[in-house]
Every structure is written in structure tokens, then in C-alpha cells.
Chain A
Amino acid sequence: MTSTGRERVLARIRAAIGEAGSPGEEAPDGIPRTYLSAHRSEDPAALLDLLHENLVDYRAVVHRTTEHELPATVARLLAEHGSRTVAVPADLPPGWLALAVAGAAVQAVVDDGALTAAQLDSVDSVLTGCALAVAETGTIVLDAGAAQGRRLLTLVPDHHICVIRAPGQIVASLPRALPLLDPVRPQTWISGPSATSDIELDRVEGVHGPRTLEVVLVTGSRGRPGPSGATRLSPGRRGRGPHGPE
């Protein structure tokens, strides 16, 4: 049945367009791509400021810190949010949570690939890195690569803390970002927390995704943005995270 539907649809298309056939001679390169590849200055400091500004404009809570201060920043954000549990991908750089879990103030829930959505529903926060960020649109791209985990991890908990390394992981625009991303990897592009304007066009934060998005911009990091978070995030141990109670 399916294959007859296929032949019928293809036959109708061919009848409708005539014998155009393979685009060969009319390659998509013929498309006028005279649009800009970036709209603003691509100076790294300017991009960092632009990203910061656009994230705030879409109501993410933005913090700046350094590599050295990152563990303390993470610990403070979790404490301020009153989080007792935080979900993390198995390959989160061990240092990120070191201070938060010290003294058992916060318990890390490491995703070993078997965490269910129902389990995550009772976890307070989630902490991840990202693949890259787009300054012009205030967008964070997750591609299930290094330090990001599976898609459900950043979806079910109500509070997401996302670490972006500057300038390494920040690009100016979508035309700069797409060539760095691998279509094979499942991607989630995030621009501010979940929102709806369905009720009289009043913007309300948070319907189904995390209602609070906190972004930590770590300045002074090297590395280049790319697929699967190719930025060198603390090479070294893979597998289970720092303290991995389950």
C-alpha cells in the first residue's frame, strides 16, 4: 500500500513539473546567497557582550566567571536555587561540581544512559556544557556531545545551568554556526527558557521545558566551537562523573 502511494505521488509530481528531473545543471549553488554571514563585529569581546545581552533579553539569567571560579559559581547557583539534586551527563568535567557536592549539600545524579524521564522529573536541576552558542540570536546549541548528555536530561528538570566557554564556543551567526554542526547528531537549540504567548499574547516563562535557564559564561577558555562540543573540555577521565551516587 505504501509503495503504491509512493508511485502515485511521484508520478503526480513528475506530471506537474514536467521533465525537470535531476537538478544537475541547475545546482542549488545558483541560489543567490548575497545575505550576510554575520551582522555584527566578530571581535571576540564584542561577541561575548552581544551573546550576554541577547541571552538576558530572552530572560536567561547570565553569570560570568573564570575557569578557576567555575566550581564555586556552580555551587552558589545550586544553593541559591535551593537544589538538593542535580542531574549531570556522565562525561561532565569532574571539577565543575566538585565544590557543590562537597559536604553532600547537593547530590549529583549521573546519567548512565538508564535514567528515565520519571526519575528526572524529581531532580531539581541539570548542569551541562554545550556545543556552541550563537551571539546574534542568543542561542545555545546542544548536540548530545561532550558534557551535554542525552536530550531528555536538559528537558525534564525545571532548572538548567549551562556552561559556555568564551571565546572558544561563541560564533556570531547562524551562517557561522551551521558548518560547525553535525546533522547526524540530535540537536536542541535553546534561546531563553520555555515560553508561551498563547494567552492574550502575554509572554509567560515556562510551560514544559526548564522554567529557569542560567547561563555561565566562562571567560578565558580556549578551544574552538564545533560538533559534539569539540571544545577541549578537561580531557581525561570519561565515564562516570565526579561523585556518582544513583
Chain B
Amino acid sequence: MSGTSGTSGTSGTSGGAFLGMPSFPEAAAVSTQDRQLRANLSHATRTIREKRARAVAELADWAELRAAGKAIKDHTLRHLDHYLLQLEAAVTTAGGTVHWAADAAEANRIVADLVLATGEREVVKVKSMATQEIGLNEALAAEGITAYETDLAELIVQLGDDRPSHILVPAIHRNRREIREIFAERMADWGRPAPEGLTDSPAQLAEAARLHLREKFLRAKVAVSGANFMVAETGTLVVVESEGNGRMCLTLPQTLISVVGIEKVVPSWRDLEVFLQTLPRSSTAERMNPYTSLWTGTSDGDGPSAFHLVLLDNGRTTALADQVGRQALRCIRCSACLNVCPVYERAGGHAYGSVYPGPIGAILTPQLRGTASEIDASLPYASSLCGACYEVCPVAIDIPEVLVHLRERVAGQGGHRLERAAVKAAGFVLDHPGVLAAGERAAAKARRLLPRRLPGPGGAWTDSRDLPDLPTEPFRDWWQKNRPQQDS
């Protein structure tokens, strides 16, 4: 074990919180002491960062693509009901069935009933943040249904009885020796055992996964997926992937169930020309990812004969109602913000206590789940507001702006317990000089992007605190002036 897990397993209840999660500073403190984890993480984030910068630099019109992506998503969110209804009609016409789930429990119920109706007790799954968010695997297990993760990293996580720590590379906290051990010890419990004499070469480990999972693909009758995009005008769903497990799940089974957050809709087919340029370059630093699957309802004799789309709210409409926080719903889950974040690099993904780690997690989770728990209240403080995340975001989400906005909310709700958690999270940032140094370097570049004064009621708060004024007042100094009196 890497020693990074607070508790394992997600709750299957509404909100999908990691129950019993320690708050950010406690989980982060454990992670930073784990040398293996830190070494894996900093190697990984540095590698991706450099490759990504090169991939983005290849496109002279990156800024224009970013502006278009932001505008498309903002437009869609302003008319979200319209586009979801258009999507529903198009999917239905193409032979699919659309379901709506207000929360995690409803979504899990719908999926479980659909699976049970097929008579099957096994499903294969493509990596999907939405199904992790709602704790679908656990909910299905409670109904006697086994869900097999088929993404290599998710397989490593599932076999290791572990939790993902990165959006894109969920097993980023595991090195090859640990992975070999997990495969050798656990594969037999889940199906085809690992080959004799398995070494820790990545090629051999991948081959072991290929053999282990192929048996499941050929047998599976039901698959569960998410989607990266849904096109309202055509009813098309899009899944972007590398390994081919997505293609297997989307093509071979008879029944396909896709659980997708309502914010994933885009108006037109043409909009894909923007996101399918920015997403691969920003996430895996590739001109294009190895496989992209696009499907519209069902096709005769090709692929599943039954297709169900479950549209998931689960807190998204709460974020939508918040004028400042809404922009978090533009996120296309590229994970670029994780890889540039000095706090993420040192704290690790598990510290964020949800399936959404890093800067995006710090602004999304408190909006989806509220700020009533210690971990959720502490998340907006797990940042030095350096602005590097905004710089790289392909849909221009102003993460620092939302963090400041959410801090206001946490500060406003009172309660010593939550405030202490928040203070400790901020303390974590301060206790790691590297975080601040990196933050302040980046801040020099990002400062013009930070809000001087928040619009709306947040304005009064920023007036009295000067928080975003980074260049003249580094975070450290601001902290000295503003740290709550009851700091422990």
C-alpha cells in the first residue's frame, strides 16, 4: 500500500462523498511524507507539463480555439434546458432512450434497474468520472452486479482496492513494481490470472492487462460508459480514449448505458472541431488521442442494439445557479490544471477527497457537494492562487476567481470546525515553501488575470481583503494579516 488512502471505498449515497475522508491538510500531510508517491507525482506532472506545452505551441491559433471553447460552453450553459431537450429528441429519434437523474441515488437506481432488466450480473466499464462521482460500482455491487473497470489505470486501482489520484492517469501514484505486485496477487481473484513470471516491464504489464480483460470483453453483454461530449443537434455521443477498451465497451456488448453530466452537451456537430483540437493536446499532449468513438443512438447490425443515456444533475444545477461558480461547468476534464499546480504536485490527488482532484476539484467539489464537511470547506484554501491553472485551462476557467468566491462562502457560513479545516489547508500551502515560491513566480504572469474586485456581493469582501492583489502583496503577507485569530 502506498499509505495514502484515508479510507477506501466511496459511499453509494447522494453526493458520492468519500465518507470519513480526512480534510485536505491531514490527507496532504500523509501524502507529502510518502516519498514514492511524491517521486511518482513530480516525475509525472513535470513530464506531462513539458510535452503539453510543445503540443499546444504547435497551434498558432490556440488562443482563438480557447476563446471559442469558452464561448460555446457559456452559451450552452445559458440555454441548458433548450439544448438538453434537443439532445433528448435527437437521441430518441436515433433509437436511444434518455433518462434523467436528479442525484446520485437516482442515477444509480436507473442504471441498476437497466442492468437487472437484461438478466446480466456483470458489466464492463469505460473510465468515467461521472460514474465514480456517484459511486456506481458500489451501488451495483449492492444489487449483486459486478462492474469491471477496463481502463488500465482503473484496473490497477480496482485490483489494488485503491482510489484514483489523477483524472487522466488515475494510477499515477503507483510505480511499475507496485503494479506488478498488484497484478500478480490480485488478477486471479477477478478472472484470468497474471502470466507466470510477470516482470515489471510496462509492455509485459500491458500484455497481462490485455489478456485479463479480453476474456471479459468477449463475454460482456452490458457496458457502462461516460462521454466527453454530447451533440444536441445530432444526438451524437463522443468518447475520447487511448487504449481501445472504450471501443471494446462501446462496440461489443448488446446493451450500452452511458451516464453523462448535463454540462457535457454542446450545441452542434461543428463544435467538435474546437474541443477535439484542444482536449487531446491539453490532456495527453497529443495531436490526437489514439481512439475517438462517436455514435448516434443505435445502428443496425453494428454495435449495441440497446442504448440508454442517463443525464446526471447531482449538484450541477447548484453550480449553474452561481454566476461566478458556473464557469466550473465548462471543464472538459483535460487535467492540465493538475499538472501545473504546485499544491497538487506536493499534496497528491487523494488529498482532495473526491474524484475530482487538483484545482478543478477544489472549485467543483465544494459546488457539487456543498461546503458543510471539513474536507469540502477546506478545499477552496488548498491553493496559493498563483493562477497557473487558469493559464493552461483550454476553456479559460478562472479558477482563482472561483476559489476566492468559495472562500467567501466558507467564511460566511461560520462554524469553528469548518474554519479550522480551512485554516489548516491554507497552512499546508504556507508550510511548503516550494508551493509558495512556485506560486509567486507564476503569479507575476497571471496577476492581470486575477479579479481586482468580485462582481456582486463578493465585491464587499474583496474590498476589505485585497486578496487577489498578488504582485504587491504575496500570499504569505496576506496570510499574516488575514489569518483567523483562533488559528491553532
Contacts and interface: CB of A to CB of B under 8 A. Distances in A.
B389 interface: no
A81 interface: no
Most buried by B among A5, A17, A190: A5
Nearest to A150: B302
A9 B98 CA distance: 13
Interface in B67-95: 67-68, 71-72, 75, 77-85, 94
A128 interface: no
B206 A26 contact: no
A71 interface: no
B303 A151 contact: yes
Nearest to B281: A137
Interface stretch (B187-195, B286-294, B407-415, B466-474): B286-294
B165 to A, nearest CB: 12
A39 B61 contact: yes
A35 B151 CA distance: 33
B284 A197 contact: yes
Nearest to B47: A201
A183 B68 CA distance: 21
A189 to B, nearest CB: 4
Nearest to A152: B251
B290 A5 contact: no
Contacts of B84: 9-10, 13
Q: Is the interface of A mostly helix, strand, loop or mixed?
A: loop
A195 B244 CA distance: 8
Contacts of B44: 200-201
B437 interface: no
A183 B317 contact: no
A15 B273 CA distance: 31
A107 B387 CA distance: 60
B313 interface: yes
B234 A183 contact: yes
A121 B215 CA distance: 10
A185 B296 CA distance: 7
Contacts of B317: 9, 12-13, 15-16
Nearest to B262: A9
Q: Is the interface of B mostly helix, strand, loop or mixed?
A: helix
Interface stretch (B25-33, B263-271, B424-432, B479-487): B263-271
Given A152-B251, A206-B206, A209-B290, A13 B71 contact: no
B441 interface: no
Given A8-B102, A194-B242, A17 B301 contact: no
A207 interface: yes
A236 interface: no
B378 interface: no
Contact of A199 (B79, B202, B289): B202
Given A2-B110, A206-B206, A208-B244, A31 B294 contact: no
Given A31-B72, A199-B205, A193 B290 contact: yes
A208 B248 contact: yes
A196 B294 contact: no
Interface stretch (B171-179, B341-349, B397-405): B171-179
A200 B174 CA distance: 8
A31 B395 CA distance: 13
A244 interface: no
A228 to B, nearest CB: 12
A209 B94 contact: no
Contacts of B94: 184
B59 interface: yes
A195 B243 contact: yes
A80 to B, nearest CB: 21
Given A174-B276, A207-B245, A137 B64 contact: no
Contacts of B236: 183
Given A5-B101, A17-B79, A208-B210, A194 B291 contact: yes
8 contacts: A2-B100, A8-B102, A17-B80, A35-B274, A186-B296, A199-B176, A200-B175, A209-B243
Given A26-B78, A137-B288, A202-B202, 17 more contacts: A1-B106, A5-B101, A8-B313, A12-B102, A22-B79, A23-B75, A23-B83, A26-B79, A28-B268, A36-B60, A136-B287, A144-B299, A152-B251, A183-B269, A195-B243, A199-B205, A200-B202
